[in-house]
Amino acid sequence: MEDGDVYDCIDVYKQPAFNHPLLKDHKIQRAGLRYIGDLFGARALINVWEPKVNKGSQDYSSLWIDIENGGGQHTDRMGAGLRVSPTLSGDAFSRFHVAWYDGYSKKSCVDFRCPGYVQVHHNVGPGTRIQPSSVYGGLQKVVDIQIFKEPTSGHWWVSVNKMPIGYWPGGLFEFIRYKGDFAFWGGQVEGPTAASNSLQMGSGHFASEGFGKVAFIEGIDIADHKGRFVTPDKSRVEHGSSDHSRYTAGGFEVSKYIGMRIFYGGPGSMRA
């Protein structure tokens, strides 16, 4: 992580605010693993990469964890992870970000762009660059991301490398206030041209290339009703891609040493 990005703690009601409706013309491409069932948190070690995104593009590519609850238009969603977004960050670096969608008011938000997420850590938070990145065929880097509900307060906390850095107040959501019923771990490409001129996901290589060449997420856990992180029941887990010609997910395994792991990614419409 880069130490130059420092954050002061700001009261949630004093953070910059403007409405940011869910963009109806945005398309989403995903590849990774999903869990369906009750959960009170999700965590994983995310393999760090910087997928290529064209300068000036309004699209972005994420290495991401999502928790959801609800159904259809009435779905609350919160997520955290790494994202390359020139329009959001002004560069093509992989940076930590948080995002959420309020299914009741039908509004989405990223980082501090509207009231909701409360930052408590002074040195690590939304916008922090995560580095160094992994090297194709070389050294692999990971970052530990957790989202979990704190039972006493009801807040949904986010931690990076086991450091709590901020939270969403429990009362912010209508449908995910008490628990989630769906989680996703993997890559996500989103934006106005994500379907027609898609970006790289992960390392920019398909899952079949394997360790050292493809993005992975391992140590995949969910939090149970007691707040304990446990490996998900395999019968409730599925993995795949929304567009197999551009992105794939594979190499799924569960082992004693790494827990649950999935490889994912692809070149999209770009070359690695």
Structural domains present in the chain: 12-265 (2.60.120)
The pLDDT of residue 114 is 86
pTM equals 0.88
Q: Which residue has the tokens 């379907």?
A: 195
Among 115, 106, 107, 119, smallest CA distance to 80 is for 119
The pLDDT of residue 102 is 83
Instruction: Please state the separation of Cα 179 from the chain's center in Å.
Output: 18
Phi, psi (deg, nearest 5) at residue 58 = -85, -5
The pLDDT of residue 160 is 97
Among 85, 65, 76, smallest CA distance to 145 is for 65
The pLDDT of residue 271 is 55
Q: Which residue has the tokens 């919160």?
A: 78
The pLDDT of residue 263 is 99
Among 85, 25, 96, 94, smallest CA distance to 55 is for 85
Q: How far apart are CA 243 and CA 266, in angstroms?
A: 10
Dump the DSSP string for the chain.
--TT-------GGGS-----B--TT-EEEEEEEEEEEEESEEEEEEEP------TT-S-EEEEEEEEEEEETTEEEEEEEEEEE-HHHHSSS--EEEEEEEETTTTEEEETTSSS--EE--SSS-TT-B--SPP-TTS---EEEEEEEE-TTT--EEEEETTEEEEEE-GGG-SSSSS-EEEEEEEEEEEETTTTTSPPPBTTSS-GGG-TTTSEEEEEEEEE-TTS-EEPPPGGGEEEEES-TTT-EEEEEEEETTTEEEEEEEB-TTS--
Q: How far apart are CA 30 and CA 223, in angstroms?
A: 23
Phi, psi (deg, nearest 5) at residue 171 = -75, -5
The pLDDT of residue 140 is 98
pLDDT digits (tens, 9 = 90+) for 138-171: 999 999 999 999 999 999 999 999 999 999 998 8
**How many other C-beta atoms are found inside a 10 Å radius of the C-beta of residue 120?**
15
**Which residues does the chain have with pLDDT short of 50?**
1-25, 272
pLDDT digits (tens, 9 = 90+) for 205-249: 999 999 999 999 999 999 999 999 999 999 999 999 999 999 999
Q: What residue type is assigned to position 173 of the chain?
A: F
The pLDDT of residue 33 is 98
